[in-house]
Structure 1
Amino acid sequence: MYQYNVQAVEQRLVKTLKRRNREATVADLVAETGLPTFQVEEQLKRIVNDYQGHLKVTESGEILYHFPGGMKNQVSGAIPRAKRFFRKVASVGGRVLKTAFKVWTMVMLVGYFVVFVLLIVLALLASMAAQAKGGSGGGGGGRGRMGGFGSFYLTTRLMQMSMYLWLYSGGRPDARGRKPKERPLHQSVFAFIFGDGDPAAEWDERERRAFIAYLRAAKGVSTVEDLMQLTGRSYNDSQQLLNRLALEFEGEPDVTESGTLIYRFDQVLRSSDRLEQSARGTEFHRELKPLIPFNTNKPGLNKWIGFFNGFNLLFGTYFTAFALSFPAVSEEGIGAFFLLVATLFAQITTNPVGLVFWVMGVIPLLFSAFFFLIPVTRRMRERRLNEQRARENVRKRVINAVLSNPEAVDPEMIDVSGTPGVDDARARALLLEAVRDYAAERGAEVEEKRAASGNAPPAYVYRFTEVAREQQDVDQLRSMRKLTDHDVGDVVFDSGAD
């Protein structure tokens, strides 16, 4: 929290101020960005200076930050301008290098495939020429011609597949002859290796904004169950997160007269908006966290990319193995192909075997091996994350069901169909696990609904009596709190006024 990316925080605050017509309190910025209060307060000092902001003071003593000149950095001088210039250069340079790396990856994949195919063509032509020269009589010549034709056909098909991969991402034309706009091939190849990113990359930020929105609707009071309903985390994880949020947003733990643990977040209620109008609930508790896909390529395209890389891996292994076993390479069988390629390389170097070893063997072998190894390793990590997200998505639905009727929670009545990334059977298993774990944590009463019969397991109904009591206690507390107590009031001083 105390060590953060200053530039990233500044950019988010500036964008938020633009959306709010260049005026907001600290609480407003915290609510809309999800940033910790400390980071907002510290960075606002710099933003006020760099963007020539004005400070207004309301009747309640709340500071209102106002930027009448627009959200443009007004700092002059060679050093600040140079820093901004080099930041832009670095940003553009990074995008250029990333694009160049994507293109290089695609060129390595397709380029080596084409080179290997061309070498096969040369080997087949040499074989056909040798058969034609050494053939005697019609029988032998007929076999040579048929074998040559079959080999030539195979090579032609390989070349067609390489062209198909090259053009695949362009899409097929529709009935009017127009091709759909799809991403270039080099981006699809890059996505095969590194994926397309996490569709929930900004989920934590959205959770924080949703939590602040909920606090404003709930008059600044939260319980652990409230946070569980928003995030789907376990009870212990939600307790730890709530402690951290209390530190970030200046919340305080408290205990009601009935012994219910609550957290008060009074600072997030101090807004320049009228709280009666701005205090809205959130539907975030209904949203399910998306899982990470392998990539967004079409399945057919992924298969072609895998085939081409496997082809390169096979030939890279072949050349590496035969180069290491040279000179004990037989002129018969598959060794003849290696000797032919070495003979071709002898036209440009005095060490053709060494050149074949590195250029045709080690480089494509290592490239192709990492081409497969990186996505395999990445997918193993993503599967662990997806399993965790599936559990949180199911737990969200469980907590929603518990809070809607804690006195009678029937797992069979909780709908978990459509949970991202898992089938209904797996979702039901996660549901029962989540209910049992939460019941154990909160000391719920368990009643048998239906005894086991045959292959059907027994069914139970859970009564979360303590959760119901706490809900009633918190609702009573919220009813006694007045949102108007946190209204910042009218402006009584403006540093930009004449």
Structure 2
Amino acid sequence: MLQNGKSAIRGPFSTLQNLNRVMRPVLFTPIISRRGIIDVSRAARTPVDELMNLMNEVIEPAVRQELGLQSNKIPKDTFQRVEKAILNCKLRATVGEIAAASGLRISETEEALRALAYDSQANLQVSAEGDVVYSFSQDFQTTIRNKSFSLRLRPLVSKIQNGLSLLVRISFGSALFVSILVTFLAILAILSSSSGDSKDDKRNNNRRDIGGSTFINFSDVLFIGRNQRGGRKQEGDLSLPEAIFSFVFGDGDPNENFEEYRWQGLAHLIQRKRGVVTAEEMAPFLDPSPEIVVSMEERGFSTDDAFVLPALIKFEGEPFVDEEGHLLYRFPSLQTTVKAAEYLEKGYEGPFYEDYDGYLSRRPTAVYEKVWNLTSANSGQIFCAKLLGALNIFGVIWLGYLLSDPLVTASLLREGRGFIIALFPALIAYAGTYFAIPSIRNFQIKSRNRLIRDRNKARRQALQVLSRPRDRLSAKLASARKEGVQKEISKEDIVYSTDESSLEKEQSREKLDWDDRLETSKAANTRSSDWG
């Protein structure tokens, strides 16, 4: 792959090389040094030579290093979650621990860990049973970023994206004030250019007074609804332009990180249960159908475990039947850990976790989705957004009524104010979408929240079945606890490591073994010669 990348990099240089062949005879001028020796190498260097040298010595190696970095091949979200999980696991963990802390698939986690370990020169430790432990240095993040310009650029790109997002939100909200201002200024311009008879002038003056009374100090209302105490913006506060954007377009998915928290919580549960769980224990984290939950409530246990398939795929679980005929699920990758006691006691903190009594818990037993809201703006900001939107629609309708008169349009074109006619379609589009988009969103949100409440209800009912188990489910849970085994890898269990000291130790051990075998062989040969 690297050779292909190299050939791809050198390909565009062919034009420069051809140009260099043409320019070299023309620009060749011998340079005589102080000792009278002709410096042919310096004489033969043209500007194209300098450019080629720069590409070969600086640009090409940098591009080759960037293309060869394994971390750049990992999706951004996966890279960030694995990197965060490594820090949470205190730089030393198994693949299962990183998968549990990141909420990623085992295969996906292993691929990302190998890439990060390769780029940061992490230490791989292998136990006698073949379990691999990844050990990273304190500065592994710096080591990886020093090799990649794109990784160093990611924080800056993220800041720029956040800044642009904020700019768009403020710009759309401010556009409402601009639309109102332009609309009523256009109305005043049309009224001021009406016929000059006294009756029309009087009506024009009256309307001008009415129009003037509608002007407000826009700089004063930009921050309506924000907490003014201390002059500082508190968490969750929005300026009025931001609130207007939120009213029209919303605030994004409230369950954006739900999948991550869901799988983190389930993996943590499996680890606490020593790698063996039942379908009933996984149900509050998954999506059992209402029919399955109703069956669980009637029978006291699950009769259809199809809903656990995503968890089996995610963490490479395997079903098995115990001696009593109970169907259980084992997750070997989550049974191996480095810091079992300390890591499992810490738990995960997430906004979706609840315990049996419905309170937030550091040890999750269920996970719930959040319902969508039309907007995060407060009631005062919503009132202002609706009032200003209604005022804008009123002004656009009034302006459209005035522009429907051919004499008015002709007068505007004659006076050089034709831009008012050109702006009118944009004003209509803004005013129409201002209330149309929230109306459509409100319908979609109601439908989406109905499904979310159904899923949350099913998880809560499954949790209630688990919290008050009947005899058969109690026996099934007891069997799962009996089958569960947790294997903690200590430093004494490591038989091979990629660090230098371990290599030297292994080499010395192999040397001693070789010497022992050699001495044994010599002794055997001596005994054979004596018998001979």
TM-score (norm 1): 0.70
Report if aligned partners of 1:228, 1:399 keep a CA contact under 8 Å in 2.
yes
* Corresponding residue for residue 309 of structure 2: 243
Q: Does 1:381 align with 2:447?
A: no
Deviation for aligned residue 1:52? 1.9
Q: Deviations over 1:26-48 (max 9, x none)?
A: 11101111100010111111101
Report if aligned partners of 1:250, 1:267 keep a CA contact under 8 Å in 2.
yes
Distance 1:248 1:200 in 2: 20
Report if aligned partners of 1:254, 1:261 keep a CA contact under 8 Å in 2.
yes
* Corresponding residue for residue 422 of structure 2: 358
Cα pair distance change 1:391/1:161, threshold 3 Å: farther
* Corresponding residue for residue 370 of structure 2: 290
* Corresponding residue for residue 37 of structure 1: 106
Counterpart among 79, 82, 86 of residue 13 in structure 1: 82
Report if aligned partners of 1:260, 1:473 keep a CA contact under 8 Å in 2.
yes
Unmatched segments (≥5 aa) in structure 2: 1-72, 294-303, 348-361, 502-532
Q: Does 1:50 align with 2:119?
A: yes
Q: Does 1:230 align with 2:296?
A: no
Report if aligned partners of 1:33, 1:205 keep a CA contact under 8 Å in 2.
yes
Q: Does 1:97 align with 2:98?
A: no
Counterpart among 479, 482, 486 of residue 479 in structure 1: 482
Cα pair distance change 1:24/1:346, threshold 3 Å: farther
Answer 1 or 2: which has greater helix percent.
2
Cα RMSD of the aligned pairs, angstroms, is: 3.5
Report if aligned partners of 2:180, 2:391 keep a CA contact under 8 Å in 1.
yes
* Corresponding residue for residue 110 of structure 1: 177
* Corresponding residue for residue 158 of structure 1: 214
Q: Deviations over 1:157-203 (max 9, x none)?
A: 522385654341444x44xx756544333322221222122332212
What secondary structure is seen at the aligned counterpart in 2 of 1:200? coil
1:191-210 to structure 2, matched below 5 A, reads: 191-210=246-265
Counterpart among 320, 327, 343 of residue 261 in structure 1: 327
Deviation for aligned residue 1:209? 0.9
Deviation for aligned residue 1:367? 1.9
Counterpart among 60, 80, 95 of residue 26 in structure 1: 95
Distance 2:198 2:117 in 1: 84
Distance 1:75 1:492 in 2: 28
Please tell me the residue identity of whatever aligns with 1:117. F
Cα pair distance change 1:295/1:378, threshold 3 Å: same
Cα pair distance change 1:276/1:314, threshold 3 Å: closer
Counterpart among 384, 390, 406 of residue 310 in structure 1: 390
1:319-358 to structure 2, matched below 5 A, reads: 319=399, 323=403, 327=406, 339=408, 343-344=411-412, 346-348=414-416, 352=418, 355-358=419-422
Deviation for aligned residue 1:243? 0.8
Q: Deviations over 1:342-387 (max 9, x none)?
A: 63454336xx3xx44430x211111222232322223322222211
Q: Which moved further from structure 2: 253-262 or 211-220?
A: 253-262
Report if aligned partners of 1:319, 1:357 keep a CA contact under 8 Å in 2.
no
What secondary structure is seen at the aligned counterpart in 1 of 2:214? helix
Q: Rg: which structure is higher?
A: 2
Report if aligned partners of 1:6, 1:43 keep a CA contact under 8 Å in 2.
no
TM-score (norm 2): 0.65
Counterpart among 201, 217, 226 of residue 272 in structure 2: 217
Deviation for aligned residue 1:211? 0.6
Cα pair distance change 1:54/1:130, threshold 3 Å: farther
Please tell me the residue identity of whatever aligns with 2:376. T
Distance 2:149 2:343 in 1: 44
Distance 1:213 1:300 in 2: 42
Report if aligned partners of 2:287, 2:459 keep a CA contact under 8 Å in 1.
yes
Deviation for aligned residue 1:86? 5.6
Cα pair distance change 1:197/1:400, threshold 3 Å: same
Cα pair distance change 1:310/1:13, threshold 3 Å: same
Please tell me the residue identity of whatever aligns with 2:375. N
* Corresponding residue for residue 399 of structure 1: 462
What secondary structure is seen at the aligned counterpart in 1 of 2:134? strand
Report if aligned partners of 2:224, 2:239 keep a CA contact under 8 Å in 1.
no
Distance 1:404 1:170 in 2: 44
Cα pair distance change 1:106/1:287, threshold 3 Å: same
Q: Deviations over 1:292-327 (max 9, x none)?
A: 11111112212222232233334445555765x553
Report if aligned partners of 1:27, 1:267 keep a CA contact under 8 Å in 2.
yes
Distance 1:159 1:179 in 2: 28
Q: Deviations over 1:250-298 (max 9, x none)?
A: 1001223333322111211111113587268864336643211111111
Cα pair distance change 1:317/1:356, threshold 3 Å: same
What secondary structure is seen at the aligned counterpart in 2 of 1:111? helix
Q: Deviations over 1:135-165 (max 9, x none)?
A: 7xxxxxxxx7xx967x566545522385654
Distance 2:164 2:233 in 1: 27
Distance 2:478 2:84 in 1: 36
What secondary structure is seen at the aligned counterpart in 1 of 2:216? helix
Deviation for aligned residue 1:122? 5.0
What secondary structure is seen at the aligned counterpart in 2 of 1:74? helix
Cα pair distance change 1:280/1:239, threshold 3 Å: farther
